[in-house]
């Protein structure tokens, strides 16, 4: 090989090397941009957040109160009741995630307000990070599907399962334990995740009942049955279920309203 040819090939190699380095420098960081699987797809409004009340509720700069769709975080202490485990951490981590600018993009749900008049929306940072997904991944929230706002429900469940497998946050044995239907005290209230075996199914004009025992039952109202199309309720008899929702006490029985199949998981 002649000396001129060597120099020519060396210059080509150098050029390719510098081109590769430049390409790498302009690849977006996956940590800052593409860490979300539950992507927005679209956004309806860009807003600033004035104040973070707790892990799932914020106050916008224009005075609107907003409840984040897809999650439920531990309750802060009020009315002389202590805060639930990790409630303050969920709030503080959300404040830290938002940073000083607190500018986010909203994607509204089909139902835009709840019964308390709060705005309902999914929140995204400018880099595309889905805030609901992030809190779920940290184990600081539980996935919650409330129809008709069911967009990304499956993705949020997957984010929660990731944290559960890793026993992060709420899912560590130190901070969180499941309730069991046959051991529920009558004083059980509020948001719970409960496991138990189905004993029987009942139907009335307005409600389908899934009875674990005489003490605890699930109720699915007629207006929500469309979400359960294809569900053979009778085949649930004898199955172990894990359910999530708010527990109330009525007529000597603990009850939980189930509005979507995402709130009811059949265990192996």
Q: Which of 64, 75, 88, 199 is catalytic?
A: 75
Instruction: Count Cβ neighbours within 10 Å for each residue of 232-247 and write b for 16 or more, e otherwise.
Output: ebeebeeeebebbbeb
Q: Which of 67, 91, 105, 259 is catalytic?
A: 67
67 catalytically annotated: yes
Q: Which of 95, 118, 164, 197 is catalytic?
A: 118
CA nearest neighbour of 141 among 73, 90, 190? 73
118 catalytically annotated: yes
75 catalytically annotated: yes
Enzyme catalytic residues: 67, 75, 118
């Amino acid at each position: 090989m002649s000396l001129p040819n060597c120099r020519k090939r060396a210059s080509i190699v150098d050029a390719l090397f510098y081109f590769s380095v430049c390409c790498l420098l302009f690849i977006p960081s996956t940590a800052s941009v593409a860490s979300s699987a539950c992507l927005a797809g679209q956004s309806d409004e860009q807003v600033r957040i004035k104040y973070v009340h707790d892990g799932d509720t914020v106050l916008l700069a224009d005075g609107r109160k907003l409840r984040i769709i897809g999650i439920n975080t531990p309750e802060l202490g009020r009315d002389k009741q202590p805060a639930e485990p990790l409630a303050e951490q969920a709030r503080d981590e959300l404040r830290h995630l938002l940073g000083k600018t607190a500018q986010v993009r909203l994607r509204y749900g089909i139902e835009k307000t709840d019964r308390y008049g709060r705005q309902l929306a999914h929140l995204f940072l400018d880099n595309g990070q889905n805030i609901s997904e992030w809190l779920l991944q940290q184990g600081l929230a539980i996935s919650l599907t409330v129809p008709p706002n069911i967009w990304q429900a499956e993705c949020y469940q997957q984010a929660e399962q990731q944290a559960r497998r890793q026993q992060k946050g709420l899912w560590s044995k130190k901070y969180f334990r499941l309730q069991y239907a046959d051991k529920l005290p009558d004083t059980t209230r509020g948001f719970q995740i409960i496991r138990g075996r189905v004993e029987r199914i009942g139907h009335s004009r307005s409600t389908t009942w899934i009875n674990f025992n005489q003490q605890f039952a699930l109720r699915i109202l007629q207006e929500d049955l469309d979400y359960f199309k294809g569900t053979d309720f009778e085949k649930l008899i004898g199955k172990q279920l894990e359910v999530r929702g708010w527990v109330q006490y009525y007529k000597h029985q603990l009850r939980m309203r189930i509005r979507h199949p995402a709130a009811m998981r059949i265990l192996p």
